[in-house]
Amino acid sequence: MGFFEFRDTIQENDTVIIYISNDDLFPITVKKGEVKQTKFGAIKHNEIIGKKFGSRYDCARGYVFLLFPNPEIWTLALPHRTQILYTPDISRIVFELGLSNGKVVCESGTGSGSLSHALTRGIYPAGHLHTVEFHEERSKKARQEFEDHGLSKNITVYHRDVCAEGWPAEVDHKADAVFLDIPAPYKAIEHVKRALKLEGGEFCNFSPCIEQVQETCVKLREKGFTNIKTIECINSQTTVKTSHFPMPDFGVDYKDLEAAGVMPTNCEKIGTYVKRLEKGAKPKTRNLKEEDEKAENAVEKEELKLSECNFVVKSALAKRSQYGHTGYLTFARLPPRDESL
């Protein structure tokens, strides 16, 4: 199957993502006669052949969904051989490198292939990704994985040390963009420059430590790179909450303010508005007892009566615990040059 050529129906040898929950999904390769066990029971491959992607599959003790793989879902479901990049960093990398159909990209640090799939989609179908992996076993697994996903025409995997050897000679001055995710990126900048086109190109490096970033930036300046910048992508999750507070009585005649157009509406209208907000924000609860449902309906039908005007306030509350630092992204541009000089 082709990762970027969607079709409706599941066939044998397809890669299917089994979705149980947001934090529990995994890939399977569909083979006749095989069975995959999950916490909800068995998934029989024979039964999912012919089903539609996105459909629900009922197991003995629950159900799962059968999803078509794309780079974002693959990042969440892939078998980890190394630490990987996730969508917030990946999306910024693809944007900053300016990827489009037909471009050539060089990558070092193939790892689990999370970024490789996203880079390939950015240059698909006429582009090509040359990716280098230092670890031989990981390079073999990545190569097989790309073949299984129908991407072997667009990705070439090399087993070599990019710091010592760079990319193969046939890639020299062919790349529109280069990405590094290696322990010592500053040792490979000379090879990056050799891989980029003479007309110039884009560069990106991912490093978890600021000391790596500092040395890389020094080396980039020495080699003539410009527009050097380093950023950090951190998601901040907040919950929006609606609160209402009584207006304090400072001896002001609110009717006079309303008549003057200072107050937007009267107390009764504000009370109705607040009630509507509360009803809209109230979470739905399943399996309520009959008497609880009647009591809840009775409360919802009640008119909200206020003796004084209320302020409606929106506030944003940050989660107590959330993901923080992943790494630093350093971007730079190599301007056009003449290697003959």
Phi-psi region of 200 (alpha: psi -120 to 50; beta: other; left: phi over 0): left
How far apart are the C-alpha atoms of 131 and 146, rounded to whole Å? 11
Please tell me whether residue 156 adopts helix, strand or coil conformation.
strand
Give the alpha-carbon dihedral of 106, 109, 110, 116, to 10 degrees. Answer: -50
Q: Are strands 35-38 and 41-44 parallel, antiparallel or unpaired?
A: antiparallel
In this structure, what token pair is assigned to residue 298?
Answer: 């009775």
Handedness of CA 239, 242, 246, 250 (dihedral sign): positive
Residue 166, classified by CB atoms within 10 Å of its CB into exposed (0-12), middle (13-18) or buried (19+), is: buried
Q: Please tell me whether 161 is known to bind a ligand.
A: yes
How far apart are the C-alpha atoms of 233 and 206, rounded to whole Å? 11
How far apart are the C-alpha atoms of 66 and 27, rounded to whole Å? 10
Q: Please tell me whether 113 is known to bind a ligand.
A: yes
3-state SS, 2-37, equals CCCCCCCECCCCCEEEEEEECCEEEEEECCCCCEEE
Q: Please tell me whether 33 is known to bind a ligand.
A: no
How far apart are the C-alpha atoms of 209 and 55, rounded to whole Å? 43
Q: Please tell me whether 114 is known to bind a ligand.
A: yes
- What residues are designated binding site? 112-115, 133, 161, 181
- What residues are designated binding site for S-adenosyl-L-methionine? 112-115, 133, 161, 181
